[in-house]
Amino acid sequence: MRRRLDLAASLVGRPPMLYLDEPTTGLDPRARAGLWDLIRVMVDEGVTVLLTTQYLDEADELADEIVVIDHGRVIATGTPEELKAKTGAQILAVRPADETHVPLVVSVVGELSRAKPEVKGQLVTAPVTDPAVLPGVVRRLDDAGVVVTELALRGSSLNEVFLHLTGRPADEDETADDTEGSVAS
C-alpha cells in the first residue's frame, strides 16, 4: 500500500520525468503487473521514466535502454536486445523424461555445445553459439533411446547477460548497491 501511495504522490502535477527506485519490491504478482501497465501508459503519454531495479525480467519488459551497474561502475549499456546479443549465445535446454538419463544428457550437451552444462532438477541447459548443435543433440539422444519432455533453443535472458558480464548471477546474495541495474525508458 505504501508503494502505491508513493507512486500516486509522484504523479501529482503530471511530471515530465519520473524516478522510480525499486517500485515493485514486495508487490504481489497482480500488483506488480498493474504497476507495469501504469508505467507503460506513462511512457506512452511522453513521461520519461528512470527506473532502478534488481528484477532483470522487469528491466527486459519495461526498458527502452538499460544501464547495468556492478559495484558502483557502469559495465554495459544498450537496449535489452543489444545486451542479450552481447553474449553471442543462445541457450539449449533439454529435459529428459527419465531422471536417470540426466548424466547422459549432460555429457551429450556438454560435448556438442563445448560448454559446461548447468543442471537444475532434470533440466540441462548450456550456451551454444551455433544453432546447428540442436540437430546433433537430438540425433545422439534419439540413438541412445533418451525420450525428452522439453527441448528448446532460446535467446539469452538478461539474467544470463548479467552472469556473462559479472561472472555471477544477478540474484546472488549481495547488497542492493552491488547488483542494482538502472533502467531508463
pTM higher than 0.85 for the full model?
Answer: no
Whether 60 and 104 map to the same domain: the answer is no
Residue-wise burial string across 70-91, b where 16 or more C-beta atoms lie within 10 A, e elsewhere: beeeeebebebeebbeebebbb
Q: What is the CATH number of the domain that holds 13?
A: 3.40.50.300
Examine residue 143 and state whether it is found in any structural domain, yes or no: yes
Containing structural domain, residue 44: 2-84+177-184
Higher pLDDT, 182 or 92: 92
Examine residue 79 and state whether it is found in any structural domain, yes or no: yes
Q: What is the pLDDT of residues 3-26, one digit of tens each?
A: 667 777 777 777 899 999 998 888
Examine residue 137 and state whether it is found in any structural domain, yes or no: yes
Total domain count, the chain: 2
Residue 84: band (very low, low, confident or very high) from pLDDT cuts 50, 70, 90: confident
Whether 41 and 103 map to the same domain: the answer is no
Examine residue 170 and state whether it is found in any structural domain, yes or no: no
Whether 6 and 75 map to the same domain: the answer is yes
Whether 17 and 68 map to the same domain: the answer is yes
For residue 154, count other CB atoms closer than 10 A to its CB.
10
Phi, psi of 83 (to 5 degrees): -65, -40
Q: What is the CATH number of the domain that holds 107?
A: 3.30.70.1150
| Cell numbers found for residue 138 | 537430438
Examine residue 166 and state whether it is found in any structural domain, yes or no: no
* Alpha-helical regions (H) of the chain: 2-11, 29-44, 56-62, 80-86, 102-113, 133-143, 158-166, 176-179
